Amino acid sequence: MPKKTKQSVADWRKLKEGSPETRKKPLSWRARFKSLSSWIKRILVAAVIVAAGSGAYYVYSNFYVDEILSGKTGNIKNIELKTDGAITGKWLGSFLKIPPGAKLDDINIFAVKKSLEDLEQVTSASVERIYPDVLRITITELKPMMRVTVKINGGPRTYLMSPNGVFFRPVSMDRSFIEKLPRIEDARISFDGSRPRPYANAHKVREFLAYAQKLMPEELAKWRAINVRELDSVILPLIIVKTEGGAQIVFATQDYQKQFDRLDYILRYSQQKPLKSIERIDLSLKDRADVRISDQRQQ
């Protein structure tokens, strides 16, 4: 007589659904493929559910669903601007021309984003409605390193150049600030439509100015122009700086530390001695510096 034990009613389907002992591995490729595709389907279904859940949570937490559904949105009280550049809230207000008393829901945030991103100075913009009454605008801008004036359609137009060599027309910047930036001279600028193409040797100029900023910041403030005509030279690439006093300083594109040390020595020497009318300092020579005085005496 078989021993009887208390257990739940055993049905053959339970064997199929399977305890680990009764569930055996597939023998054929067809079964393996089916098993694999079944797992893939399950994972996809789980992924879709998770994505839908996350999306719903994101919408709920970011889009003030309650306020939207209840229709409690009001007039815009504040335009909150976050930027890493020069654009100010005042300028933005005048640019966007949002009428006073405009409702938050009436703002076409996509149009605002597009109009901001159409500005050459702006690299990216995001516009959010913060219910109930705040319009948040976050902008990333190009930083100016130098300026250039080009003639387009017969008239002069000022562009600023970012450290990456991208030219852009400045907005929301003081004229005095722009004029303090050193000019880039004799750069071979080509145009894409009406906008200059990025300057290819910008990285060399950036490196040079970074050294100048680090080693002689007071002197850098006196530089009015940087001539890059010889920068493309295969034999001896040169950067020629024009100071506010009209002097020229010639740099080779390597060993900046040594050249700035030499320049520092020359300038201190010239202050100690009555050599105030220096016309040209050539630091690109290997073991010496060539200084030309305006009375034609050389030292």
Residues lying near another protein in the complex (CB under 8 A) are found at 2-12, 14-16, 22, 24-28, 30-35, 38, 41-42, 45
What the block records as the tokens of 212 is 């100048």
Cis peptide before 26 (omega within 30 of 0): no
- Minimum Å gap between C-beta 23 and another protein is 9
9 versus 234: smaller Cβ distance to another protein: 9
- Minimum Å gap between C-beta 38 and another protein is 6
Residue 68 burial (C-beta neighbours within 10 Å; 0-12, 13-18, 19+): middle
C-alpha 170, offset from chain centre: 15
Ramachandran assignment for 87, one of left (phi > 0), alpha (psi -120 to 50 degrees), beta (any other): beta
4 versus 151: smaller Cβ distance to another protein: 4
- Minimum Å gap between C-beta 50 and another protein is 17
| Alpha-carbon distances, residue 64 vs 58, 59, 94, 107, 129 (angstroms) | 10, 8, 28, 16, 9
- Minimum Å gap between C-beta 96 and another protein is 48
- Minimum Å gap between C-beta 17 and another protein is 10
48 versus 221: smaller Cβ distance to another protein: 48
What the block records as the tokens of 22 is 């009764």
3-state SS, 240-281, equals EEEECCCCEEEEECCCHHHHHHHHHHHHHHHHHCCCCCEEEE
3 versus 273: smaller Cβ distance to another protein: 3
1 versus 234: smaller Cβ distance to another protein: 1
Cα 282 from Cα 299, distance rounded (Å): 12
18 versus 74: smaller Cβ distance to another protein: 18
- Minimum Å gap between C-beta 33 and another protein is 7
**φ, ψ dihedrals at 12, nearest 5°:** -60, -25
- Minimum Å gap between C-beta 11 and another protein is 5
Query: Is there a contact between 248 and 242 (Cβ–Cβ < 8 Å)?
Result: yes
32 versus 103: smaller Cβ distance to another protein: 32
3-state SS, 43-66, equals HHHHHHHHHHHHHHHHHHHHCCHH
